[in-house]
Amino acid sequence: MSPFFPPEYKPTMSQIQTERAIKYIKDTFERELSAGLKLSRVTSPLFVPRGSGINDDLNGIERPVRFAIGNLDNMEMEIVQSLAKWKRLALANMGFKVNSGLYTDMNAIRPDDDIDAIHSLYVDQWDWELVIGNHDRNVEFLKRIVKKIYSALKRTEFLVSEMFPHCTPTLPDHITFIYSEDAQKLYPELTPQQREHALAEKYGAIFLIGIGSPLADGISQGGRAPDYDDWSTASDEEHTGLNGDIIVWDSIRQDSIELSSMGIRVDIETLLRQLEIRNCPERAELYWHQRLLKGELPQTIGGGIGQSRLCMVLLHKAHIGEVQASVWPQEVLDAAKRQNIVLM
């Protein structure tokens, strides 16, 4: 039995059909997302200057891909790991107003990422960011935006099933909101990943609120950089954080899969607090951080939505390599060949 693919899994689409379906999903979801959140499409960079603070540090340990530009005195650049900070700069520089925003195709390389059925060195996602008012910095506003995104997912799923009838809908009608603190109390004996599995299997689709702060057992539900999502703001006496993940149940792999990481972004107070918590206050001197501290960046909410992962779920694929071109270990390629699975 292959440890990489479900033993009875057989692709239901040819490679050319899969390519057509991927294009249809991406075109459809972009339209639904931009309409639901009033987002304008913009062009984004593949690389940014090293040391500017614009690149996403993720959990603070992942190495960005770096290179020098020979014709610019060997200026060092970094391939983006995400566009979490760049989008906020773009909103300020382009003069977006409250309740308007942008989305873009984000293509990144994360050389330290896992390589498995849902992880790849190549990351493709829709990055989006929306300007909000100070009064919107609360969990109820966060939930309203999540519901709009989930509605876009559901509409896309329905249209895909109409175009490709064997891609039957599996997402529930509604997404369930759960605080990470409550999940830890409900399943204290489970790891964070195991809790996501249990809750996604139970509800079909969840938004897990509060990613980054340590829970009662001292372990956080997941990693977040200190300078984009607001994960330390107390929204009430029990719960912390104004961010979260959209996680759904993957019926093919019989496992949970995260489709989106998102949240209300740091304001001046939250940025300084979270830099202290993570013991990196010196980061406040970087270009991006100085723009925020000087009040030059708008208040925003934003996130990323995995393109290949969404295609996996809607097309009932067992491996991200079926919908994305990347590199895979030879043992994975051999296992795929034995089961007549094409990896791009």
Report, as residue numbers or ranges, the catalytic residues: 56, 110, 125, 245, 258, 261
**Token pair in block for residue 6:** 């479900």
CA nearest to 314, candidates 26, 16, 90: 26
Sequence-distant contacts of 30-33: CB under 8 A, at least 24 apart: 30/103, 30/126, 32/151, 32/152, 32/155, 32/156, 33/103, 33/126, 33/128, 33/149, 33/152, 33/305
Q: Identify the H or E element spanning 179.
A: strand 176-179
CA nearest to 128, candidates 92, 167, 82, 160: 82
Return the SS3 of 205.
Answer: strand
Q: Residue 98: exposed, middle, or buried by beta-carbon count in 10 A (0-12, 13-18, 19+)?
A: middle
CA nearest to 49, candidates 70, 77, 72, 74: 77
Return the SS3 of 190.
Answer: coil
* C-alpha dihedral (164, 249, 37, 144), degrees to nearest 10: 140
C-alpha triplet 21, 24, 30: angle, nearest 5°? 140
Return the SS3 of 251.
Answer: coil
Let me know: does 247 contact 260? Beta carbons within 8 Å: no
Interstrand relation of 47-49 and 122-131 (parallel, antiparallel or unpaired): unpaired
CB atoms within 10 A of CB 340: 8
